[in-house]
């Protein structure tokens, strides 16, 4: 379909505008597109009227009937010259939705009605604003829709912002929780490290009973993790040079008050520690002075310098506790050393000189244990009886320390008193058993007694729970006198301990000993007795006659070579005949 209009006047332009609008509406052009088309055409027509002359407006609709969304409406405006169009000066095209239908269908068979009168034309022009009104209504609807969506978007943005704020707050809380967890884990690890250190240090301090060794552990334990330097001031030290050493005022205050002192140019604020001004001896060096407590008064003061700038509160608490445990360990060690000295003095006093006879030689050895209190209840003795016989004794009181040494001395004295009245070894042990049970019902002892007489070719012996004697014949043959012994002395039962005899010839040697010589934890006592018998058999008869003391050393050496000496060791050798009378007492080394 094609329609053409000649435009020379305003009325022509108005009629062409109305016709274009109605044709576009008839072809289903949307209101918005139609309004845009008519508005643009009106602007072009206005310019044409200003320019003057003749103009031709052409509307051409393309597309087939029944075809949807495929048509186009093209508007062309061009100037006329000599009755012919000189070419389009303006052209516009819009799509049609229902070409060839409704009024457009009628337009194909006749012209579109355009008002001719001016009144009708004016009415048509005014009516053309309906499209604009519809567009404005749609625009209003769109503005409302846009406003609605803008508000919705604003609310959404507010929600997003609130969500971001919540996420940010949750992130901060999570970071704080992670930080607190890391700090708690670090503190727990530090606490575990301090407790482990305190446990290991306590084990090291209590493993020794020598107070100097205990104090020597402190620098090795504390440097460099908890202190740069460690100085121990022990009040009871005998070293005069250390006694007159200048001490910091904080150490003196700790000794006087019994409270830890911190001396520095800034307050330490350590729990349980008093703050003092810096030391005059070294003002730039902080000092932590902690007393070493005992049951009554401090034993000394340990002065520490910090490994870093200062100690933490937890470190200070741990160091104070370590000093407390050190003080207790030192106090126990000093008490142990005091008791050991008393027991050792008593032990030495009781190991009397061996008697010298023209027909018997005696040699003895006593070695205290290398672990523990070092003084036990082992003892040996040898003395004459009124009838000319000689009694050799080996005994062992259970336990160690001063109490065992005292009880050993009482048994030794009682045995000598009973032996003055005479009596065989079995009878002496029976009386000693009753004496010990009456004196100390909860204390036990073992003993073996051998009696020699110059007119008797035999040795009489008896044992009460003690290892058996070992007898070496002159030809080197060795046998263990393991006849059934009595029970331990002091057990709560009545017993009569029997005597045993064994023939001896000049040149024979009898060995009495305690279990510390032959007993080993991993193998028992029998292998040790066999080793003793072998060592005694290996001695030459001439050496036993001439140098019994040397023989005692040679027997002990292989027996103790691999021993840790957890118990006292006692050995008494009695050699019959061939030995000259001793020039002096044969007191053995201790």
Q: Among 324, 342, 360, give the residue marking a domain's end.
A: 342
Do 336 and 356 reside in the same domain of the chain?
Answer: no
Cα 48 to the center of its chain, rounded Å? 100
257 within some domain: yes
Give me the residues paired with residue 546 across strands: none
382 and 522, same structural domain? yes
Residue range of the domain that includes 52: 2-127
Query: What's the pLDDT score for residue 587?
Result: 39
Q: Helices in 101-128 by DSSP H: which ranges?
A: 102-107, 118-127
- Note whether residue 174 is domain-resident: no
Q: Number of helices and strands (H, E) in the chain?
A: 15, 19
pLDDT for 282: 84
**DSSP assignment of 2-63:** EEEEEE-SHHHHHHHHHHHHHHHHHTT--HHHHHHHHHHHHHHHHHHHHH-S-EEEEEEEE-
CATH of the domain at 282: 3.30.450.40
* Residue 401, helix vs strand vs coil: coil
Same domain, 360 and 322: no
End-to-end Cα spacing for the chain: 145
Residues 364, 423: one domain? yes
Pair 343, 566: CB distance under 8 Å: no
CB 104 within 8 A of CB 61: yes
Boundary of a domain, candidates 100, 127, 154: 127
Give this prediction's pTM.
Answer: 0.53
- CA–CA–CA angle 528, 538, 464 (5° rounding): 40
Q: Within 10 A of 310 (CB to CB), how many other CB atoms are there?
A: 16
Residue 128's pLDDT is what?
Answer: 66
Pairing of strands 376-384, 390-400: antiparallel
Give how far Cα 246 sits from Cα of 89, 201, 252, 444, 530, Å.
118, 29, 10, 53, 62
* CATH assignment of the domain containing 480: 3.60.40.10
d(CA 496, CA 500): 13
Reading the chain (590 residues) residue by residue, the pLDDT tens digits are: 888 888 888 888 888 888 888 888 888 888 888 888 888 888 898 888 888 888 998 989 887 444 454 588 899 998 886 555 556 689 998 888 754 444 444 444 445 666 667 766 776 676 666 777 777 788 888 888 888 988 899 999 999 999 999 999 999 999 999 999 888 888 888 888 889 988 998 898 888 888 888 888 899 999 888 899 999 999 886 455 555 678 899 999 999 999 999 999 888 889 999 999 998 888 888 999 999 998 778 899 999 999 877 888 998 999 999 999 999 999 888 888 887 777 667 666 666 778 888 889 999 998 877 655 556 678 899 999 988 899 999 999 887 666 777 788 888 889 999 998 888 999 999 999 999 888 887 789 999 999 999 989 999 999 999 999 999 999 999 999 988 889 999 998 899 999 999 999 999 999 999 988 998 877 788 999 999 999 999 999 999 999 999 999 999 988 887 666 567 889 999 999 754 433 333 334 43
Give the C-alpha distances (Å, rounded to integers) separating 80 from 2, 54, 56, 93, 291: 18, 5, 6, 21, 124
Using left for φ > 0, alpha for ψ between -120 and 50, and beta otherwise, residue 27 falls in: alpha
Total domains in the chain come to 3
The reply to whether 173 falls in a domain is: no
Q: Work out whether strand 261-263 and strand 274-276 pair parallel, antiparallel, or are unpaired.
A: parallel
Same structural domain, 360 and 502: yes
pLDDT at 579: 40
Q: What b/e string do you get for 185-208 counting C-beta neighbours within 10 Å, with b at 16 or more?
A: eeeeeeeeebeebbeebbebbeeb
pLDDT of residue 584: 36
pLDDT, residue 401, reads: 63
Q: Do 304 and 361 share a structural domain?
A: no
Instruction: Assess contact for 95 and 71: CB atoms under 8 A.
Output: yes
CA separation for the pair 233, 127 (Å, rounded): 118
Q: Are residues 321 and 444 in the same domain?
A: no
Q: Would you state the pLDDT for residue 565? A: 59
């Amino acid at each position: 379909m094609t329609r053409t209009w000649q435009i020379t006047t305003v009325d022509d332009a108005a009629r062409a505008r109305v016709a274009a609008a109605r044709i576009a509406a008839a072809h289903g052009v949307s209101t918005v597109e139609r309004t845009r088309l008519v508005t643009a055409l009106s602007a072009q027509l206005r310019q044409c009227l200003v320019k003057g002359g003749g103009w031709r407006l052409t509307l051409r609709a393309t597309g087939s009937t029944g075809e949807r969304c495929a048509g186009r409406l093209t508007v062309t405006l061009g100037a006329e010259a000599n009755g012919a169009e000189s070419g389009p000066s303006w052209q516009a095209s819009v799509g049609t939705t229902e070409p060839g239908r409704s009024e457009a269908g009628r337009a194909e068979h006749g012209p579109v009605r355009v008002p001719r009168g001016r009144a009708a034309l004016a009415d048509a022009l005014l009516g053309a604003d309906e499209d604009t009104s519809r567009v404005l209504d749609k625009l209003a609807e769109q503005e409302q829709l846009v406003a609605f969506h803008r508000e919705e978007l604003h609310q959404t943005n507010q929600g997003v912002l609130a969500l971001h704020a919540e996420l940010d707050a949750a992130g901060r809380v999570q970071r704080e929780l992670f930080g607190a967890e890391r700090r708690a884990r670090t503190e727990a690890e530090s606490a575990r490290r301090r407790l482990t250190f305190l446990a290991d240090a306590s084990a090291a301090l209590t493993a020794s009973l020598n107070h100097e060794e205990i104090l020597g552990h402190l620098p090795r334990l504390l440097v460099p993790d908890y202190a740069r330097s460690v100085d121990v001031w022990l009040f009871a030290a005998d070293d005069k040079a250390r006694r007159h050493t200048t001490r910091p005022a904080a150490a003196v205050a700790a000794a006087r008050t019994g409270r830890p002192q911190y001396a520095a140019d800034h307050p330490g604020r350590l729990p349980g520690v008093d703050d003092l001004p810096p030391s005059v001896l070294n003002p730039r060096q902080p000092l932590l002075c902690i007393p070493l407590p005992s049951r009554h008064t401090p034993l000394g003061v340990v002065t520490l310098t910090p490994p870093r700038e200062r100690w933490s509160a937890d470190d200070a608490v741990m160091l104070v506790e370590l000093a407390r445990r050190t003080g207790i360990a030192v106090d126990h060690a000093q008490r142990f050393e005091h008791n050991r000295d008393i027991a050792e003095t008593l032990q030495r006093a009781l190991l009397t000189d061996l008697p010298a006879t023209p027909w018997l030689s005696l040699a003895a050895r006593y070695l205290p244990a290398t672990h523990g209190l070092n003084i036990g209840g082992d003892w040996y003795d040898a003395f004459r009886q009124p009838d000319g016989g000689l009694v050799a004794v080996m005994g062992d009181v259970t336990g160690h320390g001063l109490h065992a040494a005292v009880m050993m001395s009482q048994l030794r004295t009682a045995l000598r008193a009973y032996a003055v009245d005479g009596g065989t070894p079995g009878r002496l042990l029976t009386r000693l058993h009753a004496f010990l049970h009456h004196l100390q019902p909860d204390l036990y002892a073992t003993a073996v007694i051998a009696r020699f007489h110059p007119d008797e070719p035999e040795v009489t012996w008896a044992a009460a729970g003690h290892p058996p004697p070992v007898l070496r014949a002159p030809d080197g043959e060795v046998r263990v006198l393991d006849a059934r012994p009595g029970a331990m002395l002091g057990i709560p039962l009545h017993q009569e301990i029997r005597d045993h005899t064994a023939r001896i010839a000049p040149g024979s040697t009898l060995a009495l000993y305690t279990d510390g010589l032959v007993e080993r934890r991993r193998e028992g006592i029998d292998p040790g007795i066999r080793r003793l018998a072998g060592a005694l058999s290996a001695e030459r008869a001439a050496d036993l006659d001439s140098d019994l003391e040397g023989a005692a050393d040679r027997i002990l050496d292989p027996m103790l070579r691999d021993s840790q000496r957890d118990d006292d060791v006692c050995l008494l050798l009695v050699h019959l005949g061939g030995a000259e009378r001793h020039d002096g007492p044969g007191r053995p080394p201790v």
